[in-house]
Amino acid sequence: MDARILTSADTELARRLVAEDPVTNVFVGSRLMAGVLNPGMPGLIWGWPAHAPRALLHIGANLVPVATDLDPIPAFVEAAGRRRTCQSIVGESWLAIPLWQALSDRWGRAYSAVREVRRSQPVMAAADTPLVAPDPRVRPITHADFESYFAAAVAMYTEEVGTDPLAGGDSSYRSYCRWLVDQHRAFGIVEDGKVVFKSDIGAAWGSAAQIQGVWLDPALRGRGLSEPAMAAVTEYVLADYPVACLYVNDFNTRAIRCYQRVGYEQVGEFATVLY
């Protein structure tokens, strides 16, 4: 059975599918909220099967599947096509890895030649008051903080992803960071005009908001500052959403312990394929 590109007429159907697991599907839910199904918007969402979709595939900078089994993978491989446009494949590990392998088998090096495969990324969530006292210095980032916040965001991205987000010019990443500030989704600790801790709400919709971009100045690490800072960000998120969530690389044991101390529990597992 074939897949088809969804339109605005499919909005409610797509939202129902995403709402079946709002934490796992928070990114696709946020894209629906942004109007991805409307004409002229960047990105596409495919639905499978065409006549009555029960699985989704977001195609944009990120390739993100939403499904409850592996049945839609052959159709999604054809929908993605031989010319890869995404910078990553992200999703539940049991789904994202088989999708990547099927894309590689079908289309070759366009998908098989990767920079890195992160096969196990615990998905963690918190819905209750943090277990540690929040750092009162954490606050929303303002336009006056932007240049220092942007420098911290670049440092975070380079450390976390392994590439320089400014390599092709800084306009795109700068615009994204400014959007986070404009939308009151950027938080941090600012000392003497310098952002020494930052974190963002990278995606949000319905009952869940996903925290991303967590970074602490390397000179301040190892002092027990991360837990109170994350507790404060979590409080900001839980003031507006029932659930705060995030995902983290399995090898980042220090971050995992930090999140656990704050009150996050593992609720799933993602995988990310990076190009």
Domain with residue 231: its CATH number is: 3.40.630.30
pTM: 0.94
Asked whether residue 26 is assigned to any structural domain, the reply reads yes
Domain that holds residue 194: 126-268
Same domain, 18 and 97: yes
pLDDT in tens, 79-127: 999 999 999 999 999 999 999 999 999 999 999 999 999 999 999 999 9
Q: Is the pLDDT of residue 130 over 90?
A: yes
Asked whether residue 120 is assigned to any structural domain, the reply reads no
What is the phi/psi pair of residue 264, to 5°? -80, 145
Q: Is the pLDDT of residue 227 over 80?
A: yes
What pLDDT shows up at residue 167? 84
Same domain, 264 and 142: yes
Asked whether residue 118 is assigned to any structural domain, the reply reads no
Same domain, 190 and 233: yes
What's the whole-number average pLDDT of the chain?
A: 96
Asked whether residue 229 is assigned to any structural domain, the reply reads yes
Rounded mean pLDDT of 134-156? Answer: 97
Same domain, 220 and 130: yes
Residue 258's pLDDT band (cuts 50, 70, 90) = very high
Same domain, 143 and 75: no
What pLDDT shows up at residue 170? 67
Asked whether residue 250 is assigned to any structural domain, the reply reads yes
Question: For residue 126, what are the contacts with CB-CB under 8 A and spacing of at least 6?
Answer: 234, 238, 243, 244, 245, 262, 263, 264, 265
Answer whether 33's CB lies under 8 Å from 253's CB: no
Q: Is the pLDDT of residue 141 over 70?
A: yes
Same domain, 154 and 262: yes
What pLDDT shows up at residue 171? 79
Number of domains in the chain: 2
Rounded mean pLDDT of 167-193? Answer: 92
Burial class, 9, CB count within 10 angstroms (exposed 0-12 / middle 13-18 / buried 19+): exposed
Q: What percent of the chain has pLDDT over 90?
A: 95
- 113, 143, 163: which is the final residue of a domain? 113
Q: Is the pLDDT of residue 31 over 70?
A: yes
- 57, 84, 113: which is the final residue of a domain? 113
Same domain, 10 and 104: yes
Asked whether residue 216 is assigned to any structural domain, the reply reads yes
Q: What percent of the chain has pLDDT over 70?
A: 99
Same domain, 64 and 133: no
Residue 236's pLDDT band (cuts 50, 70, 90) = very high
Same domain, 96 and 17: yes
3-state secondary structure of 268: strand
Same domain, 101 and 153: no
Residue 48's pLDDT band (cuts 50, 70, 90) = very high
Rounded mean pLDDT of 149-153? Answer: 97
Asked whether residue 121 is assigned to any structural domain, the reply reads no
pLDDT in tens, 159-178: 988 889 998 776 789 999 99
Same domain, 104 and 141: no
Produce one character per residue of 229-243: b if its CB has 16 or more CB atoms within 10 Å, e if not.
bbbbbbebbbeebeb
Asked whether residue 206 is assigned to any structural domain, the reply reads yes
Same domain, 86 and 12: yes
- 79, 113, 147: which is the final residue of a domain? 113
Rounded mean pLDDT of 154-163? Answer: 92
Which long-range contacts does 64-67 make (Cβ < 8 Å, 24+ apart)? 64/27, 64/28, 64/89, 64/90, 64/91, 65/91, 65/92, 65/95, 65/96, 65/99, 66/17, 66/18, 66/25, 66/28, 66/91, 67/95
